[in-house]
Structure 1
């Protein structure tokens, strides 16, 4: 992740490297849709593929025998311990890496939705994020130039 990385307006991640198990996608080709979160390549011009990570099958049991996820990356796990990440309430998502657990202010209300329903923003199942993400504090009526209480950026 570059030192000048910006926060994604949809999921709040500042990570710019796709996890090793992300399906291959040509990020230079406009108009493609990510098969994981449904975002267009135009929105993610700053992303990079993760270098290949060898899997040591001898040290894994059959329950964990799959491509490595972002949660297994030591760099990502250290990122969420940094003061800026702690202030933004970051955690490690196995798909996108470090991301804030606070939904953006304009995210549709998903409370009361069934676990099998799909998030209209990221296409993730509601059950996958149940108890892991939180609603954003209200920013209605905030003065122009006010600072977001989660990301620390101007609203």
Structure 2
């Protein structure tokens, strides 16, 4: 079984769009996701989750919640996911709670500030994400011991 590549922006290894995701033809380049702002050019490994009809009286009837998915629940409890500090995000599914090393500090951001890359709001993620330690001292080509991602010098 091939290992899933971690997204360099949000850290997720999930390649399935949530059931509530708007229909999008991923074979067409140049599209922008209306939910998180991701470009279709960079997401050739994605596929749409099958429809999950919920009863009208269900608390989450307006959208399917990734936390309710039995597959993702099992994924998050796996030792590898625990080591990656994965949690379930209702938008993207499993995602790391550690911001990428080159992410700007959110310490002085206001709750209404929006990430220009993922469209996530600072207030929604307060006390749920942490800054990655600096990797400035890492050698070129160093490999992350957690995700296995190889570092690059720009």
Q: Same fold (TM over 0.5)?
A: yes
In structure 1, the residue matched to 2:126 is 130
Q: Does 1:52 align with 2:51?
A: yes
User: Is the CA contact (8 Å cut-off) linking 2:19 and 2:49 kept in structure 1?
Assistant: yes
Residue 103 of structure 1, CA deviation? 0.6
What number of residue pairs does the alignment pair up?
Answer: 151
* Deviation readout 1:72-123 (Å, 9 max, x if unpaired): 2111111111111111100000000001110111112122211111012211
Pairing 1:117–2:113 present: yes
* SS at 2:48 equivalent: coil
**4+ aligned runs moved over 3 Å, structure 1:** none
Q: Deviation at 1:153? A: 2.6
Give TM-score scaled by structure 2 length.
0.91
What's the TM-score, normalizing by structure 1? 0.90
Provide, for residues 27-64 of structure 1, a one-character-per-residue CA deviation record: whole Å limited to 9, x for no partner.
11110000111111011110000001111224x24xx3
Q: Which of 61, 64, 67 does residue 65 from structure 1 map onto?
A: 61
CA contact (8 A) 1:11 1:99 kept: yes
Task: State whether structure 2 residue 3 is matched by structure 1 residue 7.
Answer: no
Distance (Å, rounded) in 2 between the aligned partners of 1:10 and 1:3 = 21
Distance 2:101 2:149 in 1: 13
Shift of 1:145: 2.9
The answer for unaligned runs of 5 or more in structure 2 is none
Structure 1 Cα separation of the partners of residues 27 and 141 of structure 2: 34
Aligned to 2:75: 79
Query: Matched residues in 2 for 1:91 and 1:36: separation?
Result: 19
CA RMSD of aligned residues (A): 1.5
Bigger proportion of residues as strand: 2
Work out whether residues 97 and 130 of structure 2, in 8 Å CA contact, stay in contact via their aligned partners in 1: yes
